[in-house]
Amino acid sequence: MKQCIDISAWQGEVSVGTLMKSGIPAIVLRSSYTSQKSFSLHKDKYFDHNIVSAYKAGMKDLGIYHYSQAISETEAIREARFVIDTVSKYRTWITLPIFFDWEFGGRLNAGVARKMGKQRCRQICDAFCRTIRQAGYKAGVYANLSTLTGYIADDLYKSWPIWVAQYARKCDYKHPYMMWQYSSSGKVAGIPGRIDMNYLYGSDDVKPHGKTYSGRLPVLPHRGWFTSGDKGEQAKLLQRFLNWYFGFQKLTVDGEVGRLTMNAVKDYQRNEGLHVDGAFGSESLKHARIVRR
């Protein structure tokens, strides 16, 4: 699992230095968007600058998204072709999917989607993604949880990687997903305003939702500091707490603190606004006693 940001013209021109200093390894950039009133296609004002910055900053996990207002397969295909033309000279840099950002705005809204029905909404997603894939790119779909579950046929995940938006402590999407946008209120030094924050579960493979942890709040470890390589029952207690916190079996409870456990601690600390060091120190332990999932 990796931290990932997504940016558009709303964040302005982002410098190479800012991205390098952020320590964030993955990025998805808006290449283009469709007008909310009429079906007109536009390139993101800062796309060229920002994709060059991301590449020069060494961000090898790099994806694209197009903000769609498509209400027919024909429109979705037109959007896909526009994206293909927009990103063509950066083809070798793009390692993540080109995502179809299908979210309600003006001409595309809940009423329109409801009238079309779930199957037709899925066909619109399929039309964009097939066109992208035929051009030799990976393709995926971005939507918020309510759109994915309430307006698009439930089996969409079987065809395309899913990037789901839900601003919560855990993701409630019940199918496999590749990325989870968990916050729109992130802060990255050097980038003005708030920024979308995501977890990326692998560059190529979809991350299963995982098995829900159904137990009560587990017994917390007595100690307040862990380092890589620590072993024993206290480490098991830490892993059980983290699985409970995230709401699914994120870690194998083997009593050994390795990279995955340290990363899970960091994710917990980020979520709770704590100092991020991966060590589960006294601050993290104290907070764990009052946190509720």
Write down the pLDDT at residue 203. 40
Asked if residue 231 is part of any domain, the answer here is: yes
**Are 250 and 195 part of one and the same domain?**
no
What confidence category does residue 216 fall into, taking pLDDT thresholds of 50, 70 and 90? Answer: low
Reply yes or no on whether the pLDDT at 214 is more than 70.
no
Asked if residue 182 is part of any domain, the answer here is: yes
For residue 217, what are the domain limits? Answer: 210-293
Write down the pLDDT at residue 205. 40
Alpha helices in 92-158 (DSSP H): 110-116, 118-134, 145-150
Asked if residue 135 is part of any domain, the answer here is: yes
**Are 122 and 40 part of one and the same domain?**
yes
Of 200, 227, 261, the position where a domain reaches its end is 200
| Mean pLDDT over each residue of the chain, to the nearest integer | 89
Write down the pLDDT at residue 206. 46
Asked if residue 103 is part of any domain, the answer here is: yes
**Are 233 and 175 part of one and the same domain?**
no
Asked if residue 258 is part of any domain, the answer here is: yes
Of 172, 200, 228, the position where a domain reaches its end is 200
Write down the pLDDT at residue 144. 96
Contact 198, 3 (CB under 8 A): yes
154 sits in the region (left: phi over 0; alpha: psi -120 to 50; else beta) called alpha
What stretch of H or E contains 199?
strand 195-200
In 35-173, DSSP assigns E strands to 41-43, 61-68, 98-102, 139-144, 162-165
Distance CA 52, CA 248 (A): 37
What confidence category does residue 90 fall into, taking pLDDT thresholds of 50, 70 and 90? Answer: very high
What number of helices (H) and strands (E) belong to the chain? 9, 9
**Are 151 and 19 part of one and the same domain?**
yes
Reply yes or no on whether the pLDDT at 17 is more than 90.
yes
The count of structural domains within the chain is 2
Distance CA 109, CA 39 (A): 14
**Are 196 and 241 part of one and the same domain?**
no
Structure-token pair, residue 19: 């991205």
The CATH number of residue 83's host domain is: 3.20.20.80
Choice among 161-175, 185-199, 267-281 with the minimum mean pLDDT? 267-281
Reply yes or no on whether the pLDDT at 215 is more than 70.
no
Choice among 93-97, 213-217, 243-247 with the minimum mean pLDDT? 213-217
Of 140, 167, 200, the position where a domain reaches its end is 200
The CATH number of residue 282's host domain is: 1.10.101.10
**Are 219 and 195 part of one and the same domain?**
no
**Are 61 and 133 part of one and the same domain?**
yes
Question: What percentage of the chain reaches a pLDDT higher than 70?
Answer: 92
Map residue 217 onto helix, strand or coil.
coil
**Are 53 and 173 part of one and the same domain?**
yes
**Cα 237 vs. chain centroid, distance in angstroms?**
28
What stretch of H or E contains 238?
helix 233-246
Side chain identity at residue 109, one-letter code: N
What confidence category does residue 292 fall into, taking pLDDT thresholds of 50, 70 and 90? Answer: low
Partnered with residue 142 across adjacent β-strands are 101, 163
**Are 172 and 263 part of one and the same domain?**
no
The mean per-residue pLDDT over the stretch 145-150 comes to: 96
Could you tell me the CA-to-CA distances from 284 to 261, 276, 291 in Å, in that order?
14, 9, 10
**Are 150 and 126 part of one and the same domain?**
yes
Asked if residue 205 is part of any domain, the answer here is: no
